[in-house]
Chains A and B, each alone.
Chain A
Amino acid sequence: DAGVIQSPRHEVTEMGQEVTLRCKPISGHNSLFWYRQTMMRGLELLIYFNNNVPIDDSGMPEDRFSAKMPNASFSTLKIQPSEPRDSAVYFCASSLSGVSQPQHFGDGTRLSIL
């Protein structure tokens, strides 16, 4: 079974550049989540989509971050302009329906902003 697929696995770029992270959720799942993981802050929810509609984006750090879900099988998280403090591992997860169902995570994108 195909799990959640994220790309790229690693991204190294200079500050000020635009970064786009991609996610393909598990087929049939209608909820999608973007998380950020750092040593200092642990695993934090950035944004949650249900049926392609953003439900909770209170975790999005600031206007430099944006996320879209144009259809049920694809989502992007964009950072523009990127800053060194954005360096982290970004995970995408999906669930059958909502937050009270197990979320299945991709293997993440390790982002380094120089």
Chain B
Amino acid sequence: GESVGLHLPTLSVQEGDNSIINCAYSNSASDYFIWYKQESGKGPQFIIDIRSNMDKRQGQRVTVLLNKTVKHLSLQIAATQPGDSAVYFCAEKIQGAQKLVFGQGTRLTINP
């Protein structure tokens, strides 16, 4: 399954499938991007980050892709598990700014 932007707040995938969560960021001068996972009743949990001088970064079961041409960021989760159910946020830092700006989030639900 694929989310086509933060205006689509919920993504449902089958357990074992790959998930792709997309984020359209706002500023071409953004130089740092980060993904968080937030489970109910908990704080956002850091997943992976990427700087603007890279276009891909991999972690354990996760990959972040950055397309600066179209100002697009995606988070790929391989072999989605029930424990991946959460709200996922992207955030960007504009060059020279002293804050992260968070997106609205995408809720990922896993179907057994």
Contacts and interface: CB of A to CB of B under 8 A. Distances in A.
A78 interface: no
Nearest to A89: B43
B44 A43 contact: yes
Interface in B86-106: 89, 93, 97-100, 102-105
Contacts of A93: 43-44
Contacts, number: 48
Interface in B64-93: 89, 93
B99 A56 contact: yes
B102 A42 contact: yes
Contacts of A100: 31-32, 51, 93
Nearest to A50: B98
Contact of B46 (A43, A45, A56, A104): A104
A99 B45 contact: no
Interface of A: 4, 42-45, 48, 55-56, 59, 91, 93, 99-100, 102-108
